[in-house]
Structure 1
Amino acid sequence: MQAGKLRPNLLTLSAASADSHIFIQNAGTLPAVHFSVLLLCSGLCKPSGVCSDRCASVKAADMPVIVYYASVSGSLELKKNQERIMSVLTSKKIPYETKDITQNSADKDAMRKKAGNPTAMPPQICNGDVYCGDFAAFENAIEDNQLEEFLKLGRKA
């Protein structure tokens, strides 16, 4: 199982198979907006595979935004760009999944294939298998008030 992080400095989570569902688990008494954690559920919350009352089931199709990032980098600019993307998505309550390309070469290959660039560097953003763009395109979309269109979402971001 591949480990990934939803947000840097919070938790490392285990990813389950693609047919698993996703649930949101509140970290107790802390404010949900700031401390909700997205986990891939493979029936671990209950042996029956049904999430407990503290979980809100969400189908994987409802969380298509993927942010490819690098947890290991000597570039302060790259780290700030990645944090900016995750911060904006979190503040706008847009669910997203992160994939750390430094921990799994298959994720790096998938990122580069989706970007159509064999030398693409993180951060890169996709909506499922559809490439959205890099950090510069993300910033331009925010500036132009076009984030929903950039992320290819069917709702107002």
Structure 2
Amino acid sequence: MQARKPCPNLLTLSAAATANQQHIPTCRTFSVWVTIKIADMPLKVYYSSVSSSLEMKKNQQLIFSVLDSKSILYESVDISQNVDDKNKMRKIAGNPTALPPQICNGDIYCGDFTAFENAIEMEQLEQFLKQ
């Protein structure tokens, strides 16, 4: 049997994992897989995995930590892997020299790290993320 490539907008769970968190023995020759389309994740965090700036790395990590702790779904886009992603980030930000991290909801620009940090302090994260 050939393994399928996962789709970023699909969540695939085994039947054993979905049955009320109980372990159900499965047979090696027969498996049941359930594919569920999860809500589109329009929230994107543009970041760079390659940076000499410790401040940038800390800022990126803080954004990921906050979003994860609040169970907010997002897609992380590494601009160091694709020039087109970097250009798209800068176009959405409206700044040809914008640096990561940058956050957008679909094609709507939310802001950079400073704006994110201010939204957290003012307890207006949902408004900032345009959710």
Q: TM above 0.5, one fold?
A: yes
Quote the residue 2:11 is aligned against. Answer: 24
Q: Give unmatched runs, 5+ long, in structure 2.
A: 18-31
Quote the residue 2:38 is aligned against. Answer: 58
The partner residue of 1:147 within 111, 125, 131 is: 125
Compare CA radii of gyration and give the structure with the larger one.
2
Distance 1:73 1:15, change over 3 A: farther
Distance 1:25 1:73, change over 3 A: farther
Per-residue deviation, 1:117: 0.2
TM-score (norm 1): 0.64
The partner residue of 1:89 within 56, 60, 67 is: 67
Per-residue deviation, 1:15: 8.4
Distance 1:15 1:110, change over 3 A: farther
What fraction of aligned residue pairs are identical, expressed as a percent?
A: 59
DSSP-derived class of the 1:131 partner: strand
Quote the residue 2:90 is aligned against. Answer: 112
Runs of 4+ off more than 6 Å: none
Looking at structure 1, the residues matched to 9 and 6 of structure 2 have their Cα atoms a distance apart, in angstroms, of 10
Per-residue deviation, 1:66: 0.1
Over the aligned positions, Cα root-mean-square deviation in angstroms equals 2.4
Q: Give unmatched runs, 5+ long, in structure 1.
A: 1-13, 30-50
